[in-house]
Amino acid sequence: MTTFDTLRIGGSSLYVHRKWMDAVSDNIANINTVNAPGEDAFQERMIVAEAVQYGSGQGGVRVARTELGSADGRMVYEPDNALADDQGYVKYPDIDLGDQMTQLLMAQRGYQANLSTIKSATEAYQQALQLGKG
């Protein structure tokens, strides 16, 4: 393990948490997106992370893939909506706002924790460099 692995590993986690926050933000922004009943509803985005070279001492994480939720959505009776079918139904995404807010909080806390680790490591490296000047 090299001296700067802490920064590389922390940086990889910052990237994953940022992607997670982006996906949750998209989900929340599209929670009220209306579609006609014959169309697919907005699909929730979910980020799947995985360890990089787990057990090798290299560490870090990466985005393994982005999964999409169901395109079925939920039917809502809105006869005045321009997209409503003959029975008065439209399709909304099947996304739970409470779950998305929880996901957003977890992603933010993880991002903050990793940023704090990077800041601490940077300060320690700077202090070590100052000792070398001395």
Closest CA to 104 of 31, 30, 26, 34: 26
Closest CA to 17 of 113, 96, 98: 113
What ranges in the chain are assigned the alpha helix state H?
5-29, 97-133
pLDDT in tens, 22-38: 999 999 999 999 999 99
Phi, psi of 53 (to 5 degrees): 50, 55
Task: Name the residue ranges covered by the structural domains of the chain.
Answer: 5-133
pTM recorded for the entire structure: 0.85
Q: What six digits make up the tokens of 46?
A: 């979910």
Query: Under 8 Å CB-to-CB from 123, ≥6 apart: which residues?
Result: none
How many CB atoms are closer than 10 A to CB 27? 23
Continuous segment of H or E residues that includes residue 67: strand 61-68
pLDDT in tens, 57-107: 678 899 999 999 999 999 999 999 999 999 999 999 999 999 999 999 999
Residue 109 has a pLDDT of: 96
Kindly report the CA angle at 78 between 31 and 89, in degrees rounded to 5?
85
